[in-house]
Amino acid sequence: MTDKWLTEIADEIMIEDLPGDYREIANAIGVKNTLQLVPCIGGLQLYFPKMEAYLVARRDARIRREFTGNNYRELAIRYGLSERWIRAIVQQKPEDEKQTSLF
């Protein structure tokens, strides 16, 4: 928070004091952090796409790194997937390996 007065009153501000959308943000990251975001995003309408595809790709890469050749069951339990699904993940190539280089 850059304004000294805002820093001073931040402790007095409750989530219920904030307008609608800011309440949701404050519930996730806290009032002080929300107030720090205001100068950056105030007045903007933001859209945050879901990160599911990115997170699944990261999970799959991690599974491939942790695969030792015979630990399908262990990985299935750790990641909450079936052994069959672990086998499919291990057998698939990561996206960056599927693309051929131009050079």
Q: Give the pLDDT of residue 1.
A: 53
Domains, the chain, ordered by start: 4-41 (no CATH), 52-96 (1.10.10)
Per-residue pLDDT of the chain (103 residues; tens, 9 = 90+): 556 777 778 888 999 999 888 898 899 999 988 888 888 877 888 787 889 999 999 999 999 999 999 999 999 999 999 999 999 999 998 765 555 445 4
Q: Is residue 3 classed exposed, middle or buried when 0-12, 13-18 and 19+ CB atoms within 10 A define those classes?
A: exposed
pLDDT, position 102: 53
Q: What is the pTM (predicted TM-score) of this model?
A: 0.58
The whole-angstrom separation of Cα 54 and Cα 22 is 26
pLDDT value at position 38?
81
CA dihedral of 49, 98, 73, 68, whole degrees rounded to 10: -130
